[in-house]
A = this chain, B = another copy of it.
Amino acid sequence: MRIVIVGGVAAGMSAASRARRFDPKVEIVVFERGEWISYGACGLPYVLGGDVDNFDSLVARTPEQIRGRGIGVRLRHEVTGIDAGAGTLTVFDRDAGRTVTEPYDRLLIATGVSPIRPDLATTDLRGVHVLKDIPDGQAIQASLEGAKRACIVGGGYIGLELAENFRARGLSVVMLEKGPEVAGRILDTPYQRRIREVVEANGVNVRCGTTVTGLTGKAGRVTGVQTDAGLVRADVVVVSVGVKPNTALARAAGVRLGKTGAVAVNIRQETNVAGIYAAGDNTEATHRVTRRRVHIPLGLTANRMGRVAGVNMAGGHATFPGILGTAIFKTFSLGVARTGLTQAEADALGLDAHSVDVSSTDHAGYYADAAPIHVRLTAERTTGRLLGTQIVAHHHLSAKRVDVVAALLQQRGTVQDLFDCDLAYAPPFSSVWDVMLVAADRLHREVRAG
């Protein structure tokens, strides 16, 4: 039996590792079109700012270590076609410059996402970048040598992470966001504003409601970003306006996509084509709160999907539990997190949702260095069922308490269930009534009253 995996980052390597653990004898081969495998892409912004030493630090396992576990690794091998009927792949060996045919019994498509590149990001000007993989990061790092002005196009979480890291290098930073606020797809509006205020207070020039119209350059190097509100001078431009799933290979093989545009799978990560699995950022998942299929590419989701696919490809039985879209990021001292639905998302789905907002301190107000924490908690009005939470914490680590709500959403818990939780209290850690309990208490009274 031969398991072939296309793509060697989060989902692909998780699958390879799990398949190997499940069956020590099955043949496993990973084809990766790039030169890097098994690395933490989420750490890329921090190499640029210095909180991660270098790009090599992001590598969890080297190709040699992986091969040492009996997993074949072919770098710079791009899978260009699948013949599902024959059970073969066409693979372009970039070093040899030739295409070979490879057989498979079970195939995993873990091709991930690509950054959306508006026309301006496909320029020939040097100094214009996206940030998706290690080569992107290396290119940005090279551009930053001697640079003084950075322009980040897009105010999503990667842009916000980059803003911190660019400021840490002493760059002047302008962030251009087309929408009315930063973090537009992540949090409800009042929480978007809280983030922007802190980012601005850290010296980032944030310009929301600004559309990029072009670039200026000189001697082949970018010198500025043209917008509908004037020119922004910049030595380095990073465009971070979202991602799209890499589905061309799947589609060509007859693999069905879902309404989200990502690959459709069942809970075993099987596609509609026998023997072909999909996992990772290119793949849909079921949202546990709404039961709908969604495409929310995130690191843990990709790893978990890969794990499930790996076990199943090796002959085991594993199922994917669905996601809550739990996400967290740091920008400057802020931690920002969410799980489940925002009020706006619940409204858009026609749910009868109600939210409360609580501002408190992350630990006892009298204990040193208590930092503000802002929590929105959302529930279904008629049933009290928890729908989601959003947290903006001024000591970033405190945003991790989003996990308590994630655990309860997983169990389809109610606001009352949250309030009843015996959470940990001591003055250096929380108030007697942890802010999540305060929010639950208030929300419980309001949904009961409502």
Contact = CB atoms under 8 A, between A and B. Distances in A.
A400 B401 contact: yes
A402 B429 CA distance: 11
A298 interface: yes
Interface string A410-450: 11010001101111111111101110000000000000000
A403 interface: yes
Interface of A: 10, 40, 42-43, 46, 50-53, 57-58, 288, 298-301, 303, 321-330, 335, 337, 339, 364, 366-368, 395-404, 406-408, 410-411, 413, 417-418, 420-430, 432-434
A422 B368 contact: no
Most B CB contacts (10 A, CB to CB) among A299, A301, A364 go to A364
Q: Taking the full assembly, how many copies of this chain does it contain?
A: 2
A422 B40 contact: no
A422 B408 contact: no
Contacts of A407: 404, 407-408, 413, 418, 421, 423
Nearest to A296: B422
A53 B46 CA distance: 36
Contact of A423 (B326, B368, B421, B422): B326
Given A43-B364, A367-B43, A339 B406 contact: no
Nearest to A47: B366
Given A42-B426, A299-B425, A422-B326, A408 B411 contact: yes
B330 A429 contact: yes
Contacts of A303: 432-433
Contacts of A396: 428-429
A50 B369 CA distance: 12
Nearest to A14: B432
Contacts of A395: 397
Nearest to A366: B57
Most B CB contacts (10 A, CB to CB) among A51, A428, A429 go to A428
Given A53-B366, A411-B413, A335 B429 contact: yes
A335 B40 CA distance: 27
The 4 closest A-B pairs by CB, nearest first: A328-B424, A321-B420, A407-B407, A57-B366
A6 to B, nearest CB: 21
15 contacts: A42-B364, A43-B366, A51-B428, A321-B422, A330-B426, A337-B424, A339-B424, A397-B397, A397-B398, A400-B400, A403-B403, A403-B421, A410-B417, A410-B420, A411-B411
